[in-house]
Amino acid sequence: MLNRTKAIISAMGLFTFLYACNSSSNDSVNDQNREVSATRNKEGENAVTRGQYLATIGQCNDCHSPKNMTPQGPVIDSSNLLSGHPANMQMPPLDSTAFKPGPWGRMSLDGTAFAGPWGISYTANLTPDSATGIGSWSEETFVKTLRTGKHLGQPNGRDILPPMPWFNIAAMTDEDLSALYAYLHSLPPISNKVPAPQPPSAMK
């Protein structure tokens, strides 16, 4: 299963590359990140700045931030940074071939929803909104989630679905995961209830 997941993520690399190469988008995101970091005290600022760096090189915005469509392609919507798949954006109907095993995947144009053999997955709201984001998550819950690949870090929790590369993030040090948590909790909370993932059986 791990090899298949890696193959699917590799197949989607071209799409995320298009987002990562959009310099105007990256500039906008970096400007907002710097403003957030500037409001922290020295100790907190160091953690937030480190977390911002990790989120940037880890391309978290490519999937977890909605996009605005422009003549030059999708541009990260900096006003909804890391708020996940927009609640009001529905995936169009898919036929049964969309869920057959294979080294491929389907993706929404803004890169926040994905379909494959696992069903349909939607990128999570990572802002500190307590109702729809991770505002109520403790740092321990956040770290356990990324270490185990299980929602809320619970042994019986649902799997974190592709293309989320949790198994790569799990290799981060405790300090790096703590910094990433600090950065995400420094962002403005955005209320956006992301749809629950759908298994293939739900689309028959």
Question: What's the one-letter identity of residue 134?
Answer: I
Is pLDDT of 125 > 90? yes
Query: Residue 21's pLDDT is what?
Result: 42
148-169 pLDDT, tens digit per residue, is: 999 999 999 999 999 999 999 9
Assess whether pLDDT exceeds 90 at residue 31: no
Mean pLDDT of 100-108: 78
Nearest residue to 53 via CA among 183, 187, 190: 183
Q: Report pLDDT for 14.
A: 40
- Which pLDDT does position 44 carry in this prediction? 58
Average pLDDT, the chain: 82
Mean pLDDT of 73-97: 87
Binning pLDDT at 50, 70 and 90, where does residue 8 land?
very low
- 17 pLDDT higher than 70: no
The mean pLDDT value for 15-40 works out to 49
What's the pLDDT at 45? 67
Instruction: Say whether pLDDT at 2 is over 90.
Output: no
Euclidean distance between CA atoms 74 and 111, whole angstroms: 9
- C-alpha 197/C-alpha 151 separation (Å) is 12
Who contacts 1 (Cβ-Cβ below 8 Å, separation ≥6)?
Answer: none
Contact 73, 18 (CB under 8 A): yes
Q: How confident is the model at residue 32 (pLDDT cuts 50, 70, 90)?
A: low
Residue 109 scores a pLDDT above 80: yes
1-5, 40-44, 190-194: which is most confident: 190-194
pLDDT at 10: 46
Dmax of the chain from CA atoms? 54
Please classify residue 14 by burial: count the beta carbons closer than 10 Å to its beta carbon, then call 0-12 exposed, 13-18 middle and 19+ buried.
Answer: exposed
2 closest CA partner among 111, 165, 122, 120: 165
